[in-house]
A and B are shown apart, each in its own frame.
Chain A
Amino acid sequence: MSAALPDDALPPVIEPGQNSSTITTEISAVTLERPTGWLWIIGLLISLALSGLLFVGFCWLLYAGVGIWGLNIPVAWSFAIANYVWWIAIGMGGTFISAGMCLARQPWRSSINRFAEAMTVFAVSVSGIFPILHLGRPWFFYWLFPYPDVMNVWPQWRSSLEWDFWAILAYLIVSLAYWYVGMLPDLATLRDRSPTLAKARFYGLLALGWRGEARHWMRFEQFNLITAGVAVALVFSVHSMVALDFSEALVPGWHETIFPPFFIAGALFSGFAMVLVLGIPLRRFYGLQAFLNDRHIVNMAKMMLCAGLFVDYSYFSEIFTAFQSMDRYDFAMTLHRLYGAYAWAFWGTILLNVLNIQLLWIPRVRRSHAAVFLIAIGVLIGMWLERFMLIVSSLYEGFVPSAWGMFWPTFWDLAFLAGSVGLFFLMFLLFARLLPVLSMFELRKLAHQGGSGGVERGGEP
């Protein structure tokens, strides 16, 4: 597909003339020398404030109960679950970029995988909050974990919520390990370049004494390669579990076999969008143009478009199935979704996830960072709307008309959504300040192999 497009003019993955020492200096400078910018501080304050709101909401929730949200019977799930799916999906994108494209030997990923993985870790951590807070009795969430119990009670292994519990657990730990182990060499670099003893100690402890021995590298690469494979398997299995949280139910609009692939496509879609939303400003503020350039943006844009097309197909197929099967309940649900009280959510989704991304067919749009940034923001919003639409418009008018009801969010519904965004950015800002935002050792290797020569021009998905 790229052949038709004038992408040959794209710059090489990393700017010519870059070598180990320049890479090391420039990137570690971001963390070690660069003074804290006022933009960063403002960002931190805002996200601190939002996180504070989340904390207040958290206390109020524990005190008063989930009734502070707009939940009811029949709509017993809504914002919290939408937020959860939204965040964990965003995480998927990061893993796929670092792991999937590592297997696919895409050199250009080297510039983005580090902060993509960080994004994954933070997104998954944020998403993990919601399933727990969403419980009627959050303090008993550990009952989903099997442990020897005097009453011989065990988890109910057939429930997709149970599966999901294991999936999140595995995914959080694996992405953490993958991220951290992958960061060891760069932490060592920071250790050795620390201007002050305090910093040296700080990074020294984090680096666990990494020395770059040939033996280290051997095991390190073995681990990274296999874990990349595992991580890709996780991306697909975990998000299939998320999808099964819905499709295991017999609720029309949930009970659909297309859900797992549909959700995975959606996950990559929103994940790529978030990488762009983070990467474009990051490049700007930290002067990383040398390592993050049009090539990366354009490639990411293409991947986002590609994933988006899968998602759009799923929308179509869902509706098509309803009309083709003419199942009384599925059909009614589809009509309610398209024309019912929550039609705005559906059409909003279509606008942002279907029409919005078609702009990316145009090379000039792909090249314009501002445009890609805005489109990506639109996609993120669209994907949240989609989750809200999938959950609420399936629940509010079910099998028995007498039990039909409506959901309207309360202040706290919105507060938790805003708060989660705050918490995510709080973590990401700290990361950008304290840890290596790009993977130096991979870039060095790339430079050494002459990646700087732009030989690896391929690299479109």
Chain B
Amino acid sequence: MLGLLAEFADAEQLRGAVLRARHEGYADIEAYSPYPVDGLTEAMGLRRAHVPFWMLLGAICGGGFTYWLEWYSTVVNYPINVGGRPPFSWPAFLPPALEMTLLWAVLAGALAMLIGNRLPRVHHPLFAVRAFDRATGDRLFLLLRVANSNLEARRAHAFLKTLSPLSISEVSE
């Protein structure tokens, strides 16, 4: 089995539960909510993700490459007299570079977000849990991953009880 899933009705409860669980030494936990809950990330003690960094990188590459391509095609590869303008008309070359800066930033961001979140993943053991259907609706959940031993399981179950959740369900592999 994967672990135990506790269901809560509001965000404060979940956040408290997360803190308690970590205090109890449950390292491998996961929280689920139908909307972003302020402070939950901190409570879980997650490292800040690097989406902004990838977006910045995308921006630099996109803009830089486009501007370089403009220079290369007009100055190196095929210089030709267009309307008496100099081959490297640098101001006129800015707009495409700018647009590509923005486009590549967003594309990189979207990728970073999905890959970082290990998405897409159309099936997940949690989906087998009936109660979990409300995870995207009006309920919040705490998942304790526990080693595959009855002892562990019972301990975890006992602990979860103390959090007075709406329900506790087993998540099987």
Contacts and interface: CB of A to CB of B under 8 A. Distances in A.
Interface stretch (A84-92, A149-157, A266-274, A306-314): A149-157
Interface in B20-73: 30-37, 40-41, 44, 46, 48-49, 51-52, 55, 66, 69-70, 73
Given A173-B107, A192-B137, A217-B40, A445 B35 contact: yes
Given A185-B34, A192-B133, A213 B113 contact: no
B113 A169 contact: no
Contact of A448 (B11, B55, B103, B120): B11
Interface stretch (B88-96, B147-155, B159-167): B88-96
Pick the most buried of B31, B48, B92: most chain A CB atoms within 10 A of its CB. B92
A243 to B, nearest CB: 11
Given A192-B133, A219-B112, A223-B112, A158 B92 contact: yes
B49 A210 contact: no
B95 to A, nearest CB: 4
A213 B30 contact: yes
A154 B109 contact: no
Interface residues of B, number: 63
B106 to A, nearest CB: 5
A191 B74 CA distance: 51
Nearest to A212: B32
Contacts of A191: 136
A72 interface: no
Given A163-B96, A208-B122, A213-B31, A222 B49 contact: yes
A174 B122 contact: no
B2 to A, nearest CB: 13
B9 to A, nearest CB: 9
A169 B122 CA distance: 29
B136 A188 contact: yes
A157 B46 contact: no
B96 A162 contact: yes
A214 B45 CA distance: 10
Interface in B110-156: 110, 112-114, 116-117, 119-124, 126, 132-138
A211 B127 CA distance: 9
Contact of B41 (A173, A211, A218, A226): A218
B103 A173 contact: yes
B154 to A, nearest CB: 26
A289 B47 CA distance: 41
B100 interface: yes
A444 B134 CA distance: 13
Given A209-B120, A219-B112, A230-B106, A20 B35 contact: yes
B120 A208 contact: yes
Nearest to A21: B138
Contacts of A208: 114, 119-122
B104 to A, nearest CB: 9
A181 B114 CA distance: 9
A238 interface: yes
Contacts of A238: 99
Given A157-B96, A223-B110, A223-B113, A209 B119 contact: yes
Nearest to B36: A217
Interface in A246-269: none
Given A166-B100, A219-B117, A230-B106, A209 B123 contact: yes
12 contacts: A154-B73, A158-B93, A160-B95, A163-B96, A166-B100, A177-B106, A189-B34, A189-B137, A209-B124, A210-B119, A214-B40, A227-B106
Interface of B: 10-11, 30-37, 40-41, 44, 46, 48-49, 51-52, 55, 66, 69-70, 73-74, 77-78, 82-83, 85, 89, 92-93, 95-96, 98-100, 102-103, 105-107, 109-110, 112-114, 116-117, 119-124, 126, 132-138
